[in-house]
């Protein structure tokens, strides 16, 4: 499981600059994780070359695409409702074509195309370059499908169009797929095995963003810490690499340092991490470079060793706590956030209390918390009975959320009186007289505009806080400008 893009962005229709020579209109919506939103930028780039401009008006579209998430049942239900809406419009405009991209496409291909007949094309996460061919099939009156998972595809040669861009922050994909096989997760089945993108193509993409005035990038992957480039291919096949490939391989701490040194005035974030791959060498790189943000998203899912084993998490409670101690020793000002699942199959009250005590130990800055929902196709879905009553799941989730809220207040109050560096991203939602941005720890900071502008790095003295927002007064531009 990975960080879900904030709720307000879910289902946003995405728009890029029109090309006058393009004659067709594309309406594209994204749901789920940051990787889906990043993939939509790749899709838009491919279709822009093939005659499509984007539109925010569904009724005007020649092609409607929805990039889907399968991580929770609620996400799938939301997308089904959107497909109903698309098809209502399609009855008025029969020439409009509807397609499903991403994780749900791979999982429900036959249902969408053959049984329910609610879409014209189904395209999996590794098949976006095949979109022009698939659309040609659809134009000929045939359904089109490509959900083949690739051992090689990383889209390293596609320059993504920045669809949701504020011109300040951008996502840069560095790995695809996942090898971890957590029993609750569909990602290995919908996105395939793990492979990494060639480092120079990553550096080239970041250079392009820097040239366009972007100030912050997030290196993105299902599991960024296990990044490993040795000339291409699946990570699991590294054991068969030649001696030369092994000697010249690039892992995540090397890539992170390469980016930090290459772009000293650009902020660098990364997501998502997995505890077993967060090696100490990575922590030392984060500590060494001021432009690498001091925030680590470190999903744990449960504080119970028994449940961690049932989930096939490749770490124990003690190993996770040791890693937390290392982070706090090497990067004392780091913020740490979590993913947590309440009510996994067979979870007892004792297991739940183990989760609560782990949270007390860490005192996370913020987190993403869910009750367990069975995902068809996962090992848990096939082999385990979803036996925790819904009301028990709901109570345990609420207890986790309440405790996280308490810890978020505690962590926010630690910033009061301190000066933090903020990258100004936008005007505050609550007041047009204030700017909003994030500090290095990924906490939102709000302060009066004065003469600053969006894109500035501003030092802000924190004067008050809520559990999720810091408030303060600007004291000057930072050295990052």
Report the binding-site residues. 33, 69, 103, 178, 182, 185
Residue 190 near residue 247, CB atoms below 8 Å: no
d(CA 103, CA 1): 13
Place of tokens 């998972």: 149
Radius of gyration in angstroms for the set of CA atoms belonging to the chain, rounded to a whole number: 22
| Helix or strand (DSSP H, E) at 105 | helix 103-107
Return the structure tokens found at 464: 């008050």
Residue 48 near residue 20, CB atoms below 8 Å: no
- The alpha-helical segments, DSSP class H, found in 140-242 are 187-191, 199-211
| Helix or strand (DSSP H, E) at 280 | helix 280-288
SS3 label, residue 178: coil
d(CA 424, CA 414): 21
d(CA 254, CA 228): 10
DSSP string, 115-157: IS---SEEE-TT-GGGHHHHHHHHHTT--EEE-PPPSS---TT
Return the structure tokens found at 81: 């409702």
Residues pairing with 461 in the sheet: 419, 473
Residues pairing with 251 in the sheet: 228
Nearest to 134 by CA among 40, 50, 23, 39: 50
Beta-strand pair 52-54/434-438: unpaired
DSSP string, 430-481: S-TTEEEEE-TTS-EEEEE-TT--TT-EEEEEEEEE-SSEEEEEEEEE-TT-
Residue 8 near residue 37, CB atoms below 8 Å: no
d(CA 292, CA 280): 15
* Cα–Cα distance list, 193 to 141, 196, 290 (Å): 33, 10, 33
Annotated binding site for [4Fe-4S] cluster: 33, 69, 103, 178, 182, 185
d(CA 269, CA 256): 9
Count CA atoms within 13 Å of residue 200 on its CB side: 3
| Helix or strand (DSSP H, E) at 91 | helix 73-92
Place of tokens 């003295």: 461
The single-letter DSSP state of residue 228 is E
């Amino acid at each position: 499981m990975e960080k879900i893009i904030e709720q307000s962005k879910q289902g946003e229709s995405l728009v890029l600059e029109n090309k006058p020579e393009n004659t067709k209109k594309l309406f594209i919506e994204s749901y789920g994780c940051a990787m889906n939103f990043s993939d939509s930028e790749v899709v838009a780039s491919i279709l822009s070359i093939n005659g499509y401009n984007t539109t925010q008006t569904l009724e005007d579209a020649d092609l409607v695409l929805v990039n889907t998430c399968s991580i929770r049942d609620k996400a799938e239900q939301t997308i089904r409702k959107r497909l109903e809406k698309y098809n209502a419009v399609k009855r008025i405009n029969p020439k409009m074509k509807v397609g499903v991209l991403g994780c749900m496409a791979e999982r429900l291909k036959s249902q969408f195309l053959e049984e329910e007949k609610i879409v014209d094309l189904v395209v999996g996460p590794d098949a976006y370059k095949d979109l022009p061919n698939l659309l040609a099939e659809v134009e000929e009156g045939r359904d089109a499908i490509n959900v083949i998972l690739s051992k090689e595809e990383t889209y390293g040669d596609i320059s993504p169009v920045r669809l949701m861009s504020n011109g300040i922050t951008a996502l840069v994909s560095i790995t695809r797929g996942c090898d971890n096989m957590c029993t609750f997760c569909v990602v290995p089945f919908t996105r395939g095995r793990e492979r990494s993108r060639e480092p120079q193509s990553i550096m080239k993409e970041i250079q392009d963003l820097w040239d366009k005035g972007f100030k912050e990038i997030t290196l993105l992957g299902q599991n960024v810490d296990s990044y490993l480039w040795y000339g291409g291919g699946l990570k699991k096949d590294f054991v068969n690499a030649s001696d030369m490939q092994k000697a010249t391989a690039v892992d995540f701490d090397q890539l992170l340092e390469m980016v930090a040194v290459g772009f000293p005035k650009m902020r660098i974030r990364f997501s998502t991490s997995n505890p077993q791959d967060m090696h100490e060498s990575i922590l030392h790189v984060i500590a060494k470079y001021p432009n690498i943000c001091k925030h680590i998203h470190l999903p744990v899912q449960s504080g119970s060793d028994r449940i961690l084993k049932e989930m096939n998490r490749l770490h124990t409670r003690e190993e996770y706590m040791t890693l937390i101690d290392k982070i706090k020793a090497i990067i004392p000002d780091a913020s740490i956030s979590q993913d947590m699942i309440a009510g996994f199959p067979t979870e007892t009250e004792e297991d739940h209390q183990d989760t609560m005590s782990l949270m007390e130990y860490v005192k996370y800055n913020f987190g993403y918390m869910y009750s367990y929902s069975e995902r068809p196709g996962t090992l848990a879905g096939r082999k385990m009975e979803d036996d925790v009553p819904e009301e028990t799941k709901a109570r345990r989730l609420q207890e986790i959320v309440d405790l996280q809220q308490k810890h978020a207040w505690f962590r926010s109050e630690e910033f009061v009186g301190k000066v933090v560096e903020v990258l100004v991203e936008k005007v505050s939602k609550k007041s047009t007289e204030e700017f909003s941005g994030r500090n290095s720890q990924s906490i939102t900071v709000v302060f009066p505009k004065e003469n600053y502008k969006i894109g500035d790095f501003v030092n802000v003295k924190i004067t008050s806080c809520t559990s999720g927002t810091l408030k303060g007064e600007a004291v000057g531009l930072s050295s990052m400008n």
